[in-house]
Structure 1
């Protein structure tokens, strides 16, 4: 009688199981899995479009026509439940008048987010607590958390942070492209000013902790991020950042800082801003054409004229974008370094984000498919797509509540 080699049989079955587990899934299967999860993007610059005349968030737009990347029809198609909708206002001089002008813009932007929700109660619901996301999804609505990109509009009055908190703000980053009153930016051409957070920036961290606002280190200089991790009583988030090991750009973080972030409980949300993903070829003609476009904007030209000019530029001098594969290199590297409990998604939609084959939220299931193909589980995806960001939000809330309890 033939005798089975049990060891060989075991190895063969193991290989077959392994092959089955890593078999590529279809985009339809990936989309279905994604729809079953709470899916959040931690940095949506879409509120900038809410104040553009003629833009309707309920209508389907296309990137080729008006260069927008997020609206309700595309969110549904791309299985995106919502995220952190950013309050952003340009940074001017570090003066009282500069602060006040930016403050007013920021308040109007926050109001635009609240108005979007109030005007469409069957479509959107505002969220302030971690648990709100699941409830809103179950009610088949889109999730709206509010964040602030660049705390410059607060000026030197830290108490204004509480005003925005009462508006619903639950995430805030101290800096943007340039150094400001709160600390150093990663991209200020003049270099560092404070060596990290300023004394006022340290107070900002303490106030955010007191209120239960998550601190966002995206755009911050590495030393600023280190100060935030050191001083914050709760984990911080990098709401839209990449891996410096893949592309050495100031907006990305190296593995040492990434591990420090994860050790403190923090999360990196992967950015899809092409210029931060790889070195792209210079295009002087496109740059010059955009100079002319910005002149039209400053002159207050009609939106239709501006859009037609932009379409003309894209036709004559098309932008070179990073590939989806390069984006996933950043993503998979971060996952390899700190694991799926510390990585999420913040593509910078409507703020310059987008790579070839993923220029709006419609194509988000490509990320899910790729992660499944790489062997990540549905549980891992639940963390990556929203669970990690919500955990950090919950920890910020819990610490703020503990302060109230201790006072009592």
Structure 2
């Protein structure tokens, strides 16, 4: 066994040496070889809402335009993206039985759309539910499509819903979204904290997620909720789409103390490329004012019909086209990776773009341009091993630990 392991290591070292020092390669060729040799995964996109649009074909290549989609299967292939987490996102609404049922139905509809898309294009993509699935699907030349749930609101206060979603393929749950729910406080609730962290029900949710093997996602939750989670979780956690607060002072980002705590937990922060998390927005711009107006109206989405909700999404896309924003660059985003690595090391950072939920950079606008991140990392002297860790190795390590804990807990 040791001899076999040594042979594998030597083969990998030889490959890394070739990738690093082949003098006849252009920069683009070198980037492509390094990128394509890695198992690359984006841990958060909101593409399922596009899947609900009957005119959107995820099996076709779409040229990027402001307000349009950022992800389809051909663009994932073009960008060398092997795996992705499609988020079943539900907005936070007043916590009534009617609204919880509506959120549950919406989450189920989004999950159904993911399975339907993969079933329609079995030669291009397949739903994955485990670490090994991802690697196997990648070997087949297909895209591995994982399912995450953004916002635990559809669970309501019914603990059995967690296992039902696990059986439906959900492999992480973002505990809350922009407002407090029955699980925990949000980082951005305008009325402030309700539980000063996790609720009593949230503690039960955490235990059940650990037991089942569902990754605990701390993006969006308040600082006090974050520390409660790290204190109680038996497994490493993820921040599926967050950045460093020291670089961009946004409550959605993690401060240095939180990053240090995350590293101690063994978790991983997946760098987000949504502009407001990368660089502070210009609050005097017309775009910012229009965005605030739409967000305020969207807060009441739970009281809207499907037609009214679809109209809001259409307005959002039109606003993006009418008021294009000067986006940050890949270099701006990688500044966050630099800060995180300098503070806690290379083993605790990855990438979760938030494409189709507002994510996108001037020079990484959609899934076809993912190699630009690899290029920037290479320019900053990150090693091939470092780049492989950032693009998937760190996240898959955490995923494996969550799976292993669940397996042992079930014995």
TM-score (norm 1): 0.87
Query: Per-residue deviation at 1:30?
Result: 0.7
Three-state SS of the structure 2 residue aligned to 1:341 is helix
Aligned to 2:145: 144
Aligned partners of 1:149 and 1:176 also within 8 Å: yes
Aligned to 2:44: 43
Three-state SS of the structure 2 residue aligned to 1:240 is strand
Three-state SS of the structure 1 residue aligned to 2:75 is helix
Aligned to 1:155: 156
Aligned to 1:239: 240
Query: Per-residue deviation at 1:227?
Result: 1.0
Aligned to 1:7: none
Query: Per-residue deviation at 1:259?
Result: 1.1
Relative to structure 1, the CA distance from residue 305 to residue 161 in structure 2 (aligned partners, 3 Å threshold; closer, same or farther) is closer
Q: Which runs of 5+ in 2 are unaligned?
A: 1-19
Aligned to 1:85: 86
Determine the C-alpha separation between the residues in 2 that align with 1:63 and 1:203: 43
Aligned to 2:135: 134
Determine which of 309, 328, 346 is the counterpart of 1:340.
Answer: 346
Determine the C-alpha separation between the residues in 2 that align with 1:273 and 1:314: 13
Aligned partners of 2:219 and 2:252 also within 8 Å: yes
Determine the C-alpha separation between the residues in 1 that align with 2:405 and 2:311: 48
The correspondence of residues 146-225 of structure 1 with structure 2, limited to 5 A, is: 146-225=147-226
Determine the C-alpha separation between the residues in 2 that align with 1:256 and 1:305: 38
Query: Per-residue deviation at 1:309?
Result: 9.1
Determine the C-alpha separation between the residues in 2 that align with 1:42 and 1:288: 29
TM-superposition CA deviations, 1:39-94 (whole Å, max 9, x none): 10011211111111200001111331651100122111111112211111122111
Does 2:374 correspond to 1:368? Answer: yes
Three-state SS of the structure 2 residue aligned to 1:27 is helix
TM-superposition CA deviations, 1:83-135 (whole Å, max 9, x none): 21111112211111111110111111111111112222111122111112111
Determine the C-alpha separation between the residues in 1 that align with 2:46 and 2:402: 23
Three-state SS of the structure 2 residue aligned to 1:180 is coil
Query: Per-residue deviation at 1:318?
Result: 2.2
Aligned pairs, how many?
383
Three-state SS of the structure 2 residue aligned to 1:371 is helix
RMSD of the alignment, in Å? 2.6
Three-state SS of the structure 2 residue aligned to 1:387 is helix
Determine the C-alpha separation between the residues in 2 that align with 1:305 and 1:237: 30
Relative to structure 1, the CA distance from residue 151 to residue 316 in structure 2 (aligned partners, 3 Å threshold; closer, same or farther) is closer
Larger radius of gyration: 1
Aligned partners of 2:185 and 2:196 also within 8 Å: yes
Determine the C-alpha separation between the residues in 2 that align with 1:292 and 1:383: 38
Relative to structure 1, the CA distance from residue 285 to residue 28 in structure 2 (aligned partners, 3 Å threshold; closer, same or farther) is same
Determine the C-alpha separation between the residues in 1 that align with 2:203 and 2:308: 42
Aligned to 1:112: 113
Query: Per-residue deviation at 1:283?
Result: 4.8
Relative to structure 1, the CA distance from residue 308 to residue 348 in structure 2 (aligned partners, 3 Å threshold; closer, same or farther) is closer
Three-state SS of the structure 1 residue aligned to 2:30 is helix
Determine the C-alpha separation between the residues in 2 that align with 1:112 and 1:358: 26
Does 2:327 correspond to 1:326? Answer: no
Aligned partners of 2:331 and 2:376 also within 8 Å: no
Query: Per-residue deviation at 1:206?
Result: 0.2
Query: Per-residue deviation at 1:391?
Result: 1.3
Q: Which runs of 5+ in 1 are unaligned?
A: 1-19
Query: Per-residue deviation at 1:286?
Result: 3.4
Does 2:406 correspond to 1:400? Answer: yes
Aligned partners of 2:176 and 2:184 also within 8 Å: yes
Determine the C-alpha separation between the residues in 1 that align with 2:117 and 2:230: 34
Aligned partners of 2:151 and 2:177 also within 8 Å: yes
TM-superposition CA deviations, 1:365-388 (whole Å, max 9, x none): 111111122222222222211111
Aligned to 2:28: 27
Determine the C-alpha separation between the residues in 2 that align with 1:242 and 1:191: 22
TM-superposition CA deviations, 1:316-357 (whole Å, max 9, x none): 532232232221111211121122211100011111111211
Determine the C-alpha separation between the residues in 2 that align with 1:100 and 1:401: 31
Does 2:279 correspond to 1:278? Answer: yes
Determine the C-alpha separation between the residues in 2 that align with 1:282 and 1:208: 39
Query: Per-residue deviation at 1:28?
Result: 3.0
The correspondence of residues 256-295 of structure 1 with structure 2, limited to 5 A, is: 256-283=257-284, 285-286=286-287
Relative to structure 1, the CA distance from residue 331 to residue 393 in structure 2 (aligned partners, 3 Å threshold; closer, same or farther) is same
Aligned to 2:389: 383
Determine the C-alpha separation between the residues in 2 that align with 1:205 and 1:306: 32
TM-score (norm 2): 0.87
